[in-house]
Structure 1
Amino acid sequence: MTLPTGPAALRAEHLSKHFGRTRAVDDLCLEVPPGEVFGFLGPNGAGKSTTIRTVLGLLRPTSGRVEVFGDPAGDVERAHRHLAYVPADVALWPGLTGRECLDLLAGVGPGTDPAYRDELVERFALDVGRRARTYSTGNRQKVALVAAFATRAPLLVLDEPTSGLDPLMEREFRRCLAEAAARGQTVFLSSHALAEVEAVCTRVGILRAGRLVEVAGLAELRRLRRSEVTVSLVRPAPELERLEALPGVADVRWATPLEVTLALTGPPGPVLRALGAADVARLDVREPSLEEIFLDYYGRDAA
């Protein structure tokens, strides 16, 4: 596969899209380099789908611009030479078989690897002899995923791509993502499945009310949020009663005189030195999940 070199796979410069008084996307600046698996997160109404529609050239920005490997997204013919797209709700041609749908989709993109496509049909357990009108939501999604992963497109734009898939097929989807990344393809993955994003993405962007509130690697995002430390003691340690006074320590909770949980931000040195004077039976440190980081941005009512 020959991938474009030089320009970013996807670049948005001060992108805004307004619908009347509603700012669906507001001054969004983002760059995704070639070969990256990038997660795009946000609840319904955050502006994810509007952003994707501008990438696809289906919407014209109110201001700013979007480029796909250096080509303006508004030039749909040129931009779509570089990408394949899987929507959240796949619509197929009802009178065609799954095989005919795959053949038609292969003819409108930048090329398809037929052998790999046949392999994916087997892996996704897709009956390509049936008419599309008989397919469930999950099977329609499988057709779109097989077509996208089999393409030679250097950019895969995936908008909630696992809706309707069962857990076994979700695992197969993750394998395909890893294979696409190994081939050097870029993946732009918009998803509510936070565990999925955490498992496959190298960086994430979090969108809130049309604005990017964070773009960072997963490890960097976790460092921005507190870790939870649980300490079990062999015997009570009065010297630990002032843990909350240590730098970076918050939310100290004693479940019993022998077990304490605290939230820690920053370096753990001061806490470890304090614990060194106590008789510690067990020490557990848990990093926040991507879901917890996400909820910190939006509040618990936005889960």
Structure 2
Amino acid sequence: MEPVVHIEGLTFGYTSRSPLFQELSLSLRPGEVAGLLGENGAGKTTLLKLIAGELFPDEGVGEVFGIPSERRDPSVLARLWFLPEELPSYSIPAEDYACSTGAFYPGYRHDELLDLCDQLEVDVRQKLTRLSYGQQKKFFLAFALATGVPLLLLDEPTNGLDIPSKRQVRRLIPRYAAEGRTFLISTHQVRDLEHLIDPVIILHKGRIVLHASMDELQERLSFVVLPEAPPDALYVEKVPGGYGAILPGGGKGEVDLELLFDAARSRESELPRIWRKEELV
């Protein structure tokens, strides 16, 4: 199966003196809901913009549907949607925006947009500038799903949403992923997407320090809470009730993404070094 996104040896920097990415590699397959985790400033938004063709790599390969993203090929742009964290502002009714912009996407379905907006309780008759940030976020997410594109790049999609809206989003995305559509979702709010994303991609200081499926993580790691810190832990931190720990060898506990995220970017953790060398047993 050909990857939807293929990045290999990519180097990029906003200045030549301090590259943000060096020799970055990443592939995404159809139907994946990949979670791009990282703290603020890790380069998550920059990576999404490189994939979307809004930024151009200095070196290396960055392909979407087999075509270099920097070409901004119309056939590629018609098959992806990038939802930025900072939303565009238009003083027109939301439905008018959808009708005019949807014309650029062959798979766009207006009836589906209206149904999604009804589910998310967004009034499409309102001007976008009159909607709250959370309502705008839900509208643009609904539009993204209604475009029918096979690749959706979502930058912090749960920011600004209340708890019921986050729950609705977590229900919608798997439904569309089951159709073979690929999602790359960047977030630093790990708990919002804990039971949604697979695979997990952790970006730290311009490097991908971990890229693994949930099955791989469960097979190779155990996540436990113990009254005392275990000496053989790959990573351990104080949590309510004792010590949260990641141990080599699978079979214990559900994957704790927050603990995994902390471990992957900690200097004290053995997880990144051992995982890269594939020495886990």
| TM-score, length basis structure 2 | 0.83
> Who is 1:91 aligned against?
88
CA distance in 2, matches of 1:250, 1:82: 41
In the TM superposition, what whole-angstrom CA distance separates every residue of 1:214-250 from its partner, at most 9, and x where no partner exists? 110124335665532558xxxxxxxxxxx979x7799
CA distance in 1, matches of 2:186, 2:235: 33
1:265 aligns to 2:247 (yes or no): yes
> Who is 1:18 aligned against?
13
CA distance in 1, matches of 2:54, 2:109: 27
Determine if contact 1:111/1:153 at 8 Å carries over to the other structure.
Answer: yes
Tell me how far 1:268 sits from its aligned partner. 8.7
CA distance in 2, matches of 1:268, 1:216: 14
CA distance in 2, matches of 1:129, 1:244: 58
Determine if contact 2:244/2:259 at 8 Å carries over to the other structure.
Answer: no
What is the aligned residue count? 261
> Who is 1:238 aligned against?
none
Determine if contact 1:102/1:143 at 8 Å carries over to the other structure.
Answer: no
Q: Which runs of no fewer than 5 residues in structure 1 stay unpaired?
A: 1-5, 232-242, 254-258, 270-284
Determine if contact 1:71/1:78 at 8 Å carries over to the other structure.
Answer: no
Secondary structure at 2:142 match in 1: helix
Q: 1:81 aligns with which of 72, 78, 83?
A: 78
Q: 1:44 aligns with which of 40, 64, 76?
A: 40
* Amino acid corresponding to residue 9 of structure 2 in structure 1: H
| TM-score, length basis structure 1 | 0.77
Determine if contact 1:84/1:148 at 8 Å carries over to the other structure.
Answer: yes
> Who is 2:264 aligned against?
297
* Amino acid corresponding to residue 78 of structure 1 in structure 2: S
> Who is 1:201 aligned against?
197
Q: How does 1:171-250 map to 2 (within 5 A)?
A: 171-221=167-217, 226-228=222-224, 230=226
Residue identity over aligned pairs, in percent, reads 30
Question: What is the aligned-residue RMSD (CA, Å)?
Answer: 2.9
CA distance in 1, matches of 2:242, 2:79: 54
Q: 1:121 aligns with which of 117, 122, 128?
A: 117
Tell me how far 1:27 sits from its aligned partner. 1.3
* Amino acid corresponding to residue 13 of structure 2 in structure 1: H
1:163 aligns to 2:159 (yes or no): yes
* Amino acid corresponding to residue 17 of structure 1 in structure 2: F
Q: How does 1:53-72 map to 2 (within 5 A)?
A: 53-72=49-68
> Who is 2:276 aligned against?
none
Q: Which runs of no fewer than 5 residues in structure 2 stay unpaired?
A: 268-281
CA distance in 2, matches of 1:82, 1:28: 24
> Who is 1:138 aligned against?
134
CA distance in 1, matches of 2:98, 2:80: 16
Determine if contact 2:51/2:62 at 8 Å carries over to the other structure.
Answer: yes
CA distance in 1, matches of 2:145, 2:178: 12
CA distance in 2, matches of 1:111, 1:126: 22
* Amino acid corresponding to residue 136 of structure 2 in structure 1: R
Determine if contact 2:9/2:61 at 8 Å carries over to the other structure.
Answer: yes
Secondary structure at 1:104 match in 2: helix
